[in-house]
Amino acid sequence: MIDLTADDAIDAIAVAAEQVGFFTIIGHGIDPEVIDAAWSSARAFFDAPVPERARVAMVEAGDPYGWSPLGGETLTRSIGVDAVPDLKQSYAIGPVDPPTHEITDPDERFAWSENLWPEHPAGLRPAWEAYYRAMADLAARLLSMMAVALEMPPDHFEPLIDRHTSAMRALDYPGRDDLVAMGLCDHADERLGASAHTDYGTLTILLADPDQAGLQIQAVDGSWQNVDAVPGSFVVNLGDAMARWTNDRWRSTMHRVLVPDQRRQSIAFFHNANWDAVIECLPGALGPGEAPRYGPIAAGPHLMAKFRSTVID
């Protein structure tokens, strides 16, 4: 666990990023009322009748924002592995402020699609807009600390994230007994709430369920290790962009969510770089005699290709 206010926070982030790719943060300074409002409004949305949720359903498979029912995606497809659909429902939004730049790429325009806001619960939109902005600020602070950890100026990433197309998703995982009652699995079934995958962007900030476990990360030896949430904390993991920036010196770790014993909720903020930001090996990331493992890519097209691969047609 890393206290962001501690003197050794930057060093601790560097060690965790290199060895695990996941870490838990406290001392983040996010107002508990902002967190609670986002969490409770997400729960109220998922508790609403299906017809109410369906009012903000994704219009068609592959849309970026809105409600996706159980079985709407298979995350392991993003790593080229087909599997049965994931056993979760989700509600997602994108940028909450309009773009301040001209958009000519249709795919980038897609990432700036209008959010679908439910009428009920009435307070969801302001709660989520406040939480989104708080997470964007926290992500920028974390990236500044990461820049220093990589022996770069603290503002190195700023021009690469000032037009970010980050997404935020609340995820609702029914408990196994509920899934059995719905005929979606049995008690011996090994289906997953979220199948194994890495995240695509710079980093993810997860508000995880403190009462119901389920998140697992894959260790270097291939074993799966539980990630337990601590009340008041966030779980942070690095995405593919950061792994490519650091030539895999820092890890984008495979993770998954088991079907929980009881209902489980989380809210994930997936921070992305600007659409046209170039992801290429940072100068200080190469060790003696090393060459870059990846060629330069634009952040947006990489993100879009990964996202579209997970959608159930």
pLDDT tens digit sequence for 114-139 = 999 999 999 999 999 999 999 999 99
Pick the closest to residue 168 from 70, 42, 69 (CA basis): 42
Pick the closest to residue 25 from 131, 128, 145 (CA basis): 145
At 95-120, the pLDDT tens digits run 999 998 999 888 889 889 999 999 99
The total of structural domains in the chain comes to 1
What Cα–Cα distance (Å) separates residue 161 from each residue in 134, 140, 166, 235?
15, 8, 10, 21
Q: What pLDDT score does 185 carry?
A: 79
Confidence of residue 74 (pLDDT cuts 50, 70, 90): confident
Range of the domain at 142: 2-309
What Cα–Cα distance (Å) separates residue 45 from each residue in 120, 128, 133, 153?
7, 12, 20, 42
Strands (E), 50-209: 66-68, 89-93, 167-173, 192-197, 203-208
Q: What pLDDT score does 83 carry?
A: 81
In the predicted structure, residue 187 carries a pLDDT above the cut 70: no
Q: How many residues does the chain have?
A: 313
Average pLDDT, the chain: 92
Confidence of residue 310 (pLDDT cuts 50, 70, 90): low
Cα 231 from Cα 210, distance rounded (Å): 6
Pick the closest to residue 167 from 230, 251, 119, 239 (CA basis): 239
pTM of the model: 0.94
Pick the closest to residue 245 from 110, 149, 112 (CA basis): 149
CATH number, domain containing residue 203: 2.60.120.330
